[in-house]
Amino acid sequence: MLDTDRLEARPEYLRPWQRDAACLSEDVGLFFPPEAERKGARLRREARAKAVCGRCPVLAQCRAHALKVAEPSGIWGALTEDERMHMLAPPSPVRSGQRS
Ligand code: SF4
């Protein structure tokens, strides 16, 4: 997701792939949670943001970037922060059934 306020002030922050982002014309609040958002409102907001991502021509680049730098918040590449953290988490140790 792009912070267009920041980009207007410092356009050098724009990565080449972000110039084609579908979220450029969207409200940044759709992609980043407000404080104390209730679960139902969050789920509806995330669904709307993901719908924008679904028509975005740079979804793959956005998702790869967010996973590479471990973006800590917001919707990036149609993934929530929780979904990204889950993807980045190391696999749980497999129980061997043996005692050490
Ligand atoms: S995938 Fe979603 S968050 Fe990423 S640039 Fe596209 S619309 Fe924005």
The per-residue pLDDT string of the chain (100 residues; one tens digit each, 9 = 90 and over) reads 666 555 454 567 788 999 999 999 999 999 998 889 999 999 999 999 999 999 999 999 999 999 999 999 999 999 999 999 999 998 888 765 555 5
Q: Tally the domains of the chain.
A: 1
Report how far ligand 1's centroid is from the alpha carbon of 14 (Å).
13
Distance 47 CA to ligand 1 centre (A): 13
Is the beta carbon of 30 within 6 A of some atom in ligand 1? no
pTM over 0.85: no
Asked if residue 8 belongs to a domain, the reply is: no
- CA separation, residue 73 to residues 43, 76, 93, 98, 100 (Å): 15, 8, 27, 39, 39
Which structure tokens are listed for 26?
């969207």
Q: Is residue 37 part of a domain?
A: yes
What is the distance in A from the centroid of ligand 1 to the CA of 32? Answer: 12
User: Does residue 98 lie in a domain region?
Assistant: no
Domain contains 10: no
Report which protein residue has its CA nearest ligand 1's atom 5: 21
Q: What domain range includes position 71? A: 21-86
Is residue 11 domain-resident? Answer: no
